[in-house]
Amino acid sequence: MAEKITLGKALNHGLRRALENDPKVVIMGEDVGKLGGVFRITDGLQKDFGEDRVIDTPLAEAGIVGTAVGLAIRGYRPVCEIQFDGFVFPAYNQIVAQVAKMFYRSKGKVRVPMVIRIPFGGGIGAVEHHSESPEAYFAHTPGLKVVTCSNPADAYTMIQQAIASDDPVVFFEPKRRYWEKGDVDLDAPLSGAYPLHAARVARPGTDATLLAYGPMVRVALDAAAAAAEDGRNLEVVDLRTLSPMDYPVIFESVKRTGRAVVVHEAPGNLGLGAELAARITEECFYSLEAPVLRVTGYDIPYPAARVEEDYLPDLDRLLDAVDRSFGW
């Protein structure tokens, strides 16, 4: 039976189910216990699973991720919470130099199945370091898998799949969507769920493909709805997995529509949009009616909250790009 719950609550349910199903799953991070995390994603979990399963840690990000590596070597499945995107960098060394490489370095003998949850992106009026989009740094690192959800149903299954995965997964949560509601079937078996490392057509269409992930999927869907009023039938692909990228789904769509517009909050320079544009050009060149266009954050540090609406890609910028694509 599907219930209408928020994305944040869906994550909470997903974590709860992972804790129930596998005694080796432990959650660790700053304030994840009594407080339930600053976004309350771990709300109530310590109360029900105890302080050994839901561990309030000292305030040190390298420590959170580095000790999780040791726990994973020991056979646990740690789920680390990084409080905000801008605070992941003290742990960056552990993530890219240790987490990503342990399996390779040991010739496959040491696995570190762990999840690093990072609330990311802007749009909530926060102060500096609380609205960043660092996904490209991680997606660029072989050995890591990087995923992000855009709606409650995906949040619920993807967090469980990430925890069950033998890969180390960096799990980006679109914080501005934490409070958006959607239908989630809490009883559905995980075995039947859509695969973790697969993109999905969120809205079928025929005239152009919008490629989005995380917080921008909502913007892309809104843009597609608006464009429909002008008689344009846009397809929206929710990438879901950022590394590895699920190219077959993307190529199939773009070959069919002939146009692609990528949208993300992160700065455009060397971002995921650049990679997508290059790959689509290589693979779909003869199907393209226009160059792949990008709608992204500007190449500046995330600006003050009072002007973030001007920084963030929105419906109008996306529709403008669609217009440009059709004007080619």
Partner 1 sequence: MAKGERKAGAVPPSGGGADAPAGGFVQLLTPDGEHLGSVTTADGTTYSVDFTDEEYRGLYRDLVTVRRLDAEATALQRQGELGLWASLLGQEAAQVGSGRALRPQDMAFPTYREHGVLYCRGIDPIMPFGLFRGVDQGGWDANEHKFNSYTIVIGSQTLHATGYAMGVTMDGKTGSPDGEAVIAYFGDGATSQGEVNESFVWSGVFNAPIVFFCQNNQYAISEPLERQTRIPLYNRAAGYGFPGIRIDGNDVLASYAVTRAALDNARNGQGPTLIEAYTYRMGAHTSSDDPTRYRIASEVESWKAKDPIARMRAFLAKQKVAGEDFFAEVDEAAKTLALDLRERVLAMPDPQPVTMFDHVYPHGSPELDEQRTAFTEYHASFEGSGH
- The catalytically annotated residue of 13, 129, 130, 140 is 130
Answer for the pair 13, 187: CB distance below 8 angstroms, yes or no. no
Q: Residue 57 interacts with partner 1 (CB under 8 A)?
A: yes
Q: Residue 108 interacts with partner 1 (CB under 8 A)?
A: yes
Q: How far is the CB of 111 from partner 1 (least distance, A)?
A: 6
Q: Residue 111 interacts with partner 1 (CB under 8 A)?
A: yes
Answer for the pair 165, 145: CB distance below 8 angstroms, yes or no. yes
Continuous H helices in the chain = 7-21, 45-49, 61-73, 92-93, 102-105, 135-139, 152-164, 216-229, 247-257, 272-284, 308-311, 315-326
Which of 60, 63, 67, 64 lies closest to 80, judged by CA?
Answer: 64
Identify which of residues 72 and 223 has a Cβ nearer to partner 1 in the complex.
Answer: 72
Q: Residue 128 interacts with partner 1 (CB under 8 A)?
A: no
Contact with partner 1 (CB under 8 A) among 145, 175, 232, 264: 145
Q: Residue 74 interacts with partner 1 (CB under 8 A)?
A: yes
Q: Residue 247 interacts with partner 1 (CB under 8 A)?
A: yes
Q: How far is the CB of 42 from partner 1 (least distance, A)?
A: 18
Identify which of residues 211 and 321 has a Cβ nearer to partner 1 in the complex.
Answer: 211
Identify which of residues 75 and 327 has a Cβ nearer to partner 1 in the complex.
Answer: 75
Q: Residue 189 interacts with partner 1 (CB under 8 A)?
A: no
Which of 203, 108, 193 lies closest to 153, judged by CA?
Answer: 193
- The CA distance from 89 to 138, in Å, is 11
Q: Residue 67 interacts with partner 1 (CB under 8 A)?
A: yes
Torsion sign across C-alpha atoms 196, 271, 292, 278 = negative
SS3 137: helix
Contact with partner 1 (CB under 8 A) among 10, 25, 54, 102: 102
- Tracing tokens 């991720």 back to the chain, one arrives at 65
- The CA distance from 237 to 253, in Å, is 8
Contact with partner 1 (CB under 8 A) among 110, 225, 270, 304: 110
Q: Based on the residue annotation, tell me whether 140 is a catalytic residue of this protein.
A: no
Q: Residue 270 interacts with partner 1 (CB under 8 A)?
A: no
Q: Residue 239 interacts with partner 1 (CB under 8 A)?
A: no
Contact with partner 1 (CB under 8 A) among 35, 38, 62, 193: 62
Binding residues for partner 1, total number by CB under 8 A: 46
Give 317's Cβ-side CA count (13 Å radius): 18
- Phi and psi (nearest 5°) for 185? -90, 100
Near partner 1 in 280-309, by CB under 8 A: none
- The CA distance from 128 to 281, in Å, is 36
Q: Residue 93 interacts with partner 1 (CB under 8 A)?
A: yes
Catalytically active residues are 130
Site for partner 1, rule CB under 8 A: 26, 52, 57-58, 60, 62-63, 65-76, 78, 90, 93-94, 97-98, 101-111, 113, 142-143, 145, 166-167, 197, 244-245, 247
